[in-house]
Amino acid sequence: MRKRSARATDTGQRTTIRNQRGGAARRIGIFGGTYDPIHIGHLRSAEEARERLGLDVVLFIPTADPPHKARRLAPAAHRLAMVRLALAGNAGFRVSPIEIERAGRSYTIDTLRALRERLPPDTALTLLIGLDAFRDIGTWKDYRTLFSLADLAVWSRPPHDFAAPLDLLPVAARGDFCYGRNDKTLRHRTGTHIRFVTVTALDISASAIRQRLLRGQSIRYLVPPTVERYLRRHRLYVGRHGES
């Protein structure tokens, strides 16, 4: 019998996300971003989060129209295509075009609500978010409601050790939380949690990759080979999209 190759699959209108064994995924990590372009740092952080948090699947969700980005992004179709290429071969990763298919600004609260409607009620969602983004969460749409829809896993790289994590929350939300079983976990009044995790330090950024492409420099080993070929073939970030 021919062995089927593992690959990342889309989850648009589907209501079941499969885990590596083919059953319904019960613990799903939600990893949104512009992915402009996706790179090795994204992939490694997601892999470590999946392993550390015991997730069945990490669902990558490319943002269509992010409210906090002023610069012009590469077209959504290209960014989605690169994510698909980058995730191929990892059965623990999936990609969803849910934000690209939805009109208007891409708000995380809307995405979590939509996923809650589509997925089985016993699905545990964990929003994966970097420390820098978490520091600005008080500016997000309906951010205090967001805490009740999913657990959060906030990651950073050494040497940050997440001392006094309660102080990282917006002042208005601190009364909704208390410390969990250890000093690196916060428990929300609705029963969800915020966990703070440290991942491998890979000093790679999408903006630096765009600038290297603009200057005609190598990006080998910063992105998967399939993504590098796609970028070269479509000449992305060579012109106006090379701006940081």
Domain extent for 72: 27-202
For the chain, the domain total comes to: 1
What string of DSSP letters covers the chain? Answer: -PPPPP---B-SS-S--B-TTSSB-SEEEEEEE--TT--HHHHHHHHHHHHHHT-SEEEEEE-SS-TT--SPPPPHHHHHHHHHHHHTT-TTEEE--HHHHS-S---HHHHHHHHHHHS-TTPEEEEEEEHHHHHTGGGSTTHHHHHHHSEEEEEE-TT----SGGGGS-GGGGGGEEE-SSTTEEEETTS-EEEEEE-------HHHHHHHHHTT---BTTB-HHHHHHHHHHTTTSSGGG--
* Sign of the dihedral defined by the CA atoms of residues 130, 134, 137, 142, in that order: positive
Phi, psi at 57, each rounded to 5°: -150, 145
Contact 159, 198 (CB under 8 A): no
pLDDT value for 71: 77
pLDDT value for 23: 72
Closest CA to 109 of 99, 118, 94: 99
Alpha-carbon distance of 136 to 126, in angstroms, equals 18
pLDDT value for 21: 67
Alpha-carbon distance of 146 to 127, in angstroms, equals 10
Contact 145, 109 (CB under 8 A): yes
43 vs 83, 100, 163, 203, CA distance in Å? Answer: 10, 20, 26, 13
pLDDT value for 165: 87
pLDDT value for 191: 94
Tell the burial category of 154 from Cβ atoms under 10 Å away from its Cβ (0-12, 13-18, 19+): buried
Tell me, yes or no, whether 86 lies in a domain: yes
pTM to 2 decimals? 0.88
- Whichever domain contains 84, its CATH number is 3.40.50.620
Tell me the mean pLDDT per 10 residues along the chain, length 244.
Answer: 40 60 83 97 96 96 84 92 97 96 91 95 95 93 96 84 83 92 86 92 92 95 98 88 41
Tokens representing 204?
């790679």
Alpha-carbon distance of 116 to 166, in angstroms, equals 27
Tokens representing 97?
């075009």
Tell me, yes or no, whether 105 lies in a domain: yes
Tell me, yes or no, whether 68 lies in a domain: yes
Contact 125, 30 (CB under 8 A): yes
pLDDT value for 160: 66
pLDDT value for 207: 95
Tell me, yes or no, whether 219 lies in a domain: no
pLDDT value for 66: 85
Tell me, yes or no, whether 62 lies in a domain: yes
147 vs 155, 159, 163, CA distance in Å? Answer: 16, 27, 21
Tell me, yes or no, whether 46 lies in a domain: yes
pLDDT value for 7: 41
Tell me, yes or no, whether 56 lies in a domain: yes
Alpha-carbon distance of 198 to 158, in angstroms, equals 7
Tell me, yes or no, whether 12 lies in a domain: no
